[in-house]
A and B are shown apart, each in its own frame.
Chain A
């Protein structure tokens, strides 16, 4: 059968990637005195998780500060385009050094 079976030369079915790499920001050696912002997609109990994270980080870094997810809006809800577009400015306004973002949908 193989003797008469056609042989196919096939093209790659994917396409080129168009990616611009963004270097990661420098990190502080620890979180003492830093301001951490929370971003949430308003699902799957992220609020409860943030509360626990906050509690644990405060115990370890007493002068750490937080900006709650309410300051930024729902990153997954209606109007998310506006929420995401405004995010860089809001993070700067609120003085966030780090961000913890809940994902999963």
Chain B
């Protein structure tokens, strides 16, 4: 209800709300009917009495770029915590001087507006990116990456409006290109763990931005309906030298950009698989293990990719594993193997769909709409195997991790929410000299 009211206010529309109390998926039919009866007066009232509008014009807010507080680090931290302007951790105070340093790393004006973002309809200004970048602990030279991240999530293709949905997905930033080395992003041992400034603070920036500009705040905020979540993702970078050495295209190339392009890609991650340890000297030794662990882990949520006709699963392949596979297979070969061999009984997929939201999968309808191939309905056997990956093409493969270990991991997206979206990183004039001055 609070999220709905927040969105209505930000959209400038007035509508009445009637709340079903509790979780309908666990109520008996009788309980459901009783609860609907309880909300009927609110439904009738809402349809017959003009709803009042809580206008944002009623809110008096500071002018962007204005100083809103002055105090010690502790006092600033407390001030920001009380206003829900942090992620619960201390922030670097966004002073005018610090923000100005970030702004030197973009040729754009601080007043430039990239987009108006859901769900609070706030302007994604260059200034707001700099301020939140400071707060997250970024360095000024990360600014071009931060701008590209916001451009990516502002693309309607990404579906930022779903970032506060109940599955509680988190965005993941993947950085490609020479800027990986220039900003000292970790792509080796301990990748995806906090600890390296660039990876950690860039990941934290995006979470802060989703809170402060988009309004996705867990209670006592109103905008995030995530039920049980997990922490923000640090930024992921690829070991591009290793990928080149084994003859695999980089992840950036896979997204359709020329070699050497500085790129950020953002996508949703709903959950992370266990570490996949695999052994052997043949490509299939490892691919089989990916199917067994990652394919199985992704099976539960597979129906969503099929239903929404979009899914961008991601696998971070350990360099040692990638090297073995690359001796025999291209990345497309690996993708095709995973797609062909990751299956589950159709009845199981049906069961997962019904348990989650109440509606099963209509395979015939999905075939008719072109989401899935006709072989999904090749027989009426409820336990016939059906593929869990929507397609081979969109399985993302990033080479990263400890080259001395035989480990990989899978990252499950949330189908049509947080759809994989890439943007070039636009560097400022005199990038090299500015970067050198930071060293």
Spell out A's residues near B (CB within 8 Å).
2, 5-31, 34, 36, 42-45, 48-49, 52-53, 56-57, 60, 77-78, 80-81, 98, 100, 103-105
Contacts and interface: CB of A to CB of B under 8 A. Distances in A.
Nearest to A43: B357
A13 B85 contact: yes
A10 B93 contact: yes
Q: Which of A13, A24, A77 has the most CB of B within 10 A?
A: A13
Interface in B27-60: 29, 32-33, 36-37, 40, 43-44, 47-51, 53, 55-57, 59
A44 B357 contact: yes
A105 B162 contact: yes
Interface stretch (B12-20, B141-149, B248-256, B322-330): B12-20
A2 B72 CA distance: 8
B68 A78 contact: no
Which of A7, A18, A23, A105 has the most chain B CB atoms closer than 10 A to its own CB?
A: A18
Given A9-B67, A13-B80, 16 more contacts: A8-B93, A9-B95, A10-B68, A11-B66, A12-B62, A16-B122, A21-B53, A23-B53, A43-B359, A60-B44, A77-B416, A78-B307, A78-B308, A78-B309, A80-B416, A100-B43
Interface in B120-167: 120-125, 127-128, 131-132, 135, 156, 162, 165-166
B64 interface: yes
A18 B123 contact: yes
B230 to A, nearest CB: 19
11 contacts: A7-B70, A8-B95, A9-B69, A9-B95, A10-B79, A15-B64, A16-B125, A49-B20, A52-B33, A77-B307, A80-B416
B336 interface: no
B76 A10 contact: yes
B334 interface: no
Contacts of A80: 416
A12 B65 contact: yes
A14 B122 contact: yes
**What secondary structure prevails in chain B residues at the interface with A?**
mixed
B12 A7 contact: no
B50 A14 contact: no
Interface of B: 4, 9-15, 20, 24-25, 29, 32-33, 36-37, 40, 43-44, 47-51, 53, 55-57, 59, 61-73, 76, 79-80, 85, 93-96, 99, 116, 120-125, 127-128, 131-132, 135, 156, 162, 165-166, 208, 212-213, 225, 307-310, 356-359, 369, 371, 416
Contacts of B416: 77-78, 80
A27 B124 CA distance: 36
A80 B33 CA distance: 28
Given A11-B96, A15-B213, A44-B357, A52 B64 contact: no
B165 A105 contact: yes
Shortest 3 CB-CB contacts between residues of A and residues of B: A43-B357, A8-B93, A21-B12
A10 B12 contact: no
A21 B37 contact: no
Contact of A16 (B55, B57, B64, B71): B64
B47 A11 contact: no
Nearest to B97: A9
Contacts of A16: 61, 64, 122-123, 125
A5 B15 contact: no
Contact of B48 (A14, A21, A31, A78): A31
Contacts of B358: 43-45
B24 A45 contact: yes
A15 B308 contact: no
A73 B43 CA distance: 22
Nearest to B27: A45
B10 A17 contact: yes
A11 B67 contact: yes
A44 to B, nearest CB: 5
B123 A52 contact: no
A19 B121 contact: yes
A98 to B, nearest CB: 5
B166 A105 contact: yes
A12 B59 CA distance: 15
B24 A10 contact: no
Contacts of A27: 47-50
